[in-house]
Amino acid sequence: MSRDLTKWPRLIVVGEPVTQEQANEILIRTQSAYLSTNDTQFAKQVTGVFGCVNVNSSFLEEATTVALGILGLEYLNNSRIVSCWIGGPHGWCDWNGHIGTSNYNIGKWPSLEEVHEEWATIAAAFPYLRLRAQLIGDEGEGQVVAQWEIAAGMATSIELEPTPLAPLEPANYLSILAPLGERGVSLERLRRAVIQVRASVYDRSRAEVHQ
């Protein structure tokens, strides 16, 4: 795994849809611990829903990330709760359970090993996921530089296809200018998702202790 992924590779994902309950789990557990937003009022409300003690911080507390089983991803996280990215909230899963994306780039100069490890972590956490993913080099203007298949809890690096799995779409740069454009979910939907995921993580931890 020494292939050069180039600077800011574009993420392409196509996959089978998941249920809204599964989407809740994916989006909560793949959320970054850092809430990247200029909407400070909403950020305080979000940290409150997550159960953080300090709602004035842009970072979710460690106790919260542990209780919710947040994976701590750097490159493949979903930002569907809140985002100050110019295209607004984004990710490879949405709140309706759609799996797919082709309109944003992941972090600067990732290594193939790092991205593969994150797909392996995601696959193990959500064994119901079935998707294929690519990275397109040179900020999405180059060639396919990496490709994976995620299924049955496993992430497999597969032979590169010469063309993208889906058309490259531009981000909706006007969305961030709309009122509340950095918000990706209602507080009520977020609250239901957090309650569900917290209970699920707790139940799994109890089951593991008693095995």
Amino acid 205 reads S
Q: Are the C-beta atoms of residues 150 and 132 closer than 8 Å to each other?
A: yes
What's the CA angle centered on 206, arms 200 and 211, to 5 degrees?
125
Per-residue tokens: 152: 């049955």
pTM over 0.75: yes
pLDDT higher than threshold 60 for residue 2: no
Q: Write the pLDDT tens digit of every residue in 92-125.
A: 999 999 999 999 999 899 999 999 999 999 999 9
Per-residue tokens: 207: 């089951």
pLDDT higher than threshold 70 for residue 176: no
State the pLDDT at residue 206: 84
The owner of tokens 């300090």 is 54
pLDDT higher than threshold 90 for residue 3: no
- First-to-final CA distance of the chain: 36
Q: Write the pLDDT tens digit of every residue in 185-208.
A: 999 999 999 999 999 999 888 887
**Other residues' Cβ atoms within 10 Å of the Cβ of residue 49:** 19
pLDDT higher than threshold 90 for residue 211: no
